[in-house]
Amino acid sequence: MRRTKKIGHVIAVDMGYGHLRAAYNLSDISKGEVASVNTYRGIPEKDKIIWDQSRQFYEFVSRFKKVPFFGEKVFGWFDKFQAIEPYYPYRDLSKPSIQLSQTLKLIRKRKWGDGFVKKFNKDKIPLVNTFFVSAYMAEEHGFENDIYLNVCDADISRAWAMDKASISKIKYFVPTERAQSRLKMYGVPAENIYYTGFPLPKENTGSKRLTIAKKDLGLRLPNLDPEKRYIKRYRRTIEKYIDGHLKAKSDHILTIMFAVGGAGAQRETGIKIVKALQREIIEQKIKIILVAGIHNDVSKYFRQEVCNLGLRGQINKGVEIIFAEGKPKYFQAFNKALHQTDILWTKPSELSFYVGLGIPIIMTEPLGSQELCNRGWLERINAGIRQKEIAYTSEWLFEWLNKGILAEAAMEGFIGAPNLGTYKIEEVVNKNFKTPKISK
C-alpha cells in the first residue's frame, strides 16, 4: 500500500466521539498527532474557558434528557437552538442562524481561536477540520493555506456554513447527497463541496478495493442469515460485490456490539440487552460487546450489572466490555472489535456511516435533530432498523435473523453507503495542495 503524504493538520474537537472519530480515521495525512481545538498543547486560558463551558453544557443536557418531564423540555429547547430546517421546499437558507451568529461573535469580538490559528499556521499546510468552529477560526484569523471541513452527519444545520458562505474559502467533505444540497442552500458554491462519504477506518476497509471489509462481510453473512434465505436468493449479487469472500460458516458466534454515546448516556440500554439475551449468552449462541469508551464509570457499571445478572463467568467470554484510557486507544480497540461484529446496536450518530462496512445497525432513539436525520438516511438505504421492545429481543431479533432481514441490511449498507471516504478525502487534499513558496 502506497504511503500517504502527511501534508495537513487534522483538527477535531474533544466533545463526544463523533468529530474525533472522523479525525482519527484521517490521521494518515496529519503532520503529528490529531489535535483538538479545545485541548491542544498551549491553548490560551481565555479560549479554554469558553470551550470548557461549552463541553460541560453539552454533557449536562445529554444526561439531563433522562430526567422525567423537565429533561425532555430542556433538551427540546437546546435542540431547537441547533435545529435543521425542513428540507422542502427548496429555498435560500443563507441567512445566518442564532447559533452561527453567536459563534462568529465570539471569534470576531473576543478573538476566540487566534492562538490556535497562529500555532497551526506556521507549517503553511492545509487544515482538515471535523468541526465547524475551528474552520471558522482559521478563516477569520487569517489561516494561509487550504481550509477543509468534514461533515459528520447526513444533514446539517445552518451553523455549518459561514455567514457569507458564497465568498468563504472553506471547502467541504460531505457524507451524503442531502448534506451536499443543504450546503448549497446555505450559499456554499458547488465547487467548494466534495461528496466523499464519511471517512471510515482503513483497518476495517483495507485498500481501495475494500479487501478487509469484503472478507469481514463474507464471514458476517452466515451469522446474519442462518436459514440462508437471503443468501440463496441473492448469492450472485453477494459474490459480485464481495469478490468470492462469502463463507459457508462464520469463524465466530453471532456478535452484537452495543455502543453508548460520548456523554455516557444510554448505558442502561446495554444491560437491558444483556438481560434479554442472557439465556443465549449462557448457551454460547450469542456474544455481546458493551462499549464503554473512555468512561471508567460506565465500564464499572457494565461489569457490576453483568455480575448482578449472574453472568460473572461470562465476562470476557459471552460479554466483553471495551474500555480504554484515552480516545485514540478506544478507537483502536473499537475498530479491532468490528472485525467480528455482526450487528451494531447504537443511536444513529456518526456510527450510522459504518454501515458502509457491511454492518447492519439496530437503532436506539435518536438524540437531537442530526440523529433524526441520520436515522432517516439509514432507513432510506435500508441499512438500519429501529429497535423493538428490548425485553422481547430474543423473539424479534431471531425472527429478523431467520428471515434474512439483517443480512439484507448488511448488504444494502455495503452497496448503498459510500465507503471510500478516507481515500477520497486524502486524494482531494493531495491534489489541491500547493507547496508554499519559501521567501528569500
Q: What is residue 425's three-state secondary structure?
A: helix
The Cα–Cα gap between 394 and 280 comes to 8
Contact 11, 137 (CB under 8 A): no
Q: Which of 22, 89, 14, 85 is nearest to 52 (CA)?
A: 14
Per residue of the chain (440 residues), give pLDDT as tens.
455 678 899 999 998 899 999 999 999 999 988 999 999 999 999 999 998 887 776 665 666 556 666 556 655 555 555 689 999 998 999 999 999 999 999 999 999 999 999 999 999 999 999 999 999 999 999 999 999 999 999 999 999 999 999 999 999 999 999 999 999 999 999 999 999 999 999 999 999 999 999 999 999 999 999 999 999 999 999 999 999 999 999 999 999 999 987 666 789 999 999 999 999 999 999 999 999 999 899 999 999 999 999 999 999 999 999 999 999 999 999 999 999 999 999 999 999 999 999 999 999 999 889 999 999 999 999 999 999 999 999 999 999 999 999 999 999 999 999 999 999 999 999 999 876 655 44
pTM of the model: 0.93
- Tell me whether the omega of the peptide bond preceding residue 222 falls within 30 degrees of 0, making it cis: no
Cell 435533530, residue located:
369
For the chain, residues classed under CATH 3.40.50.2000 are: 203-418
- What CA–CA distances, in Å, run from 220 to 161, 214, 215, 232? 39, 10, 9, 15
Q: What is the CATH code for 203-418?
A: 3.40.50.2000
Kindly report the number of other CB atoms within 10 A of residue 69's CB atom.
7
Q: CA angle, corner 171, sides to 118 and 198, nearest 5? A: 105
CA distance 439 to 167: 28
Copy the grid coordinates of residue 42. 498551549
SS3 282: helix
User: How far, rounded to the nearest angstrom, does the alpha carbon of residue 98 sit from its chain's CA centroid?
Assistant: 26
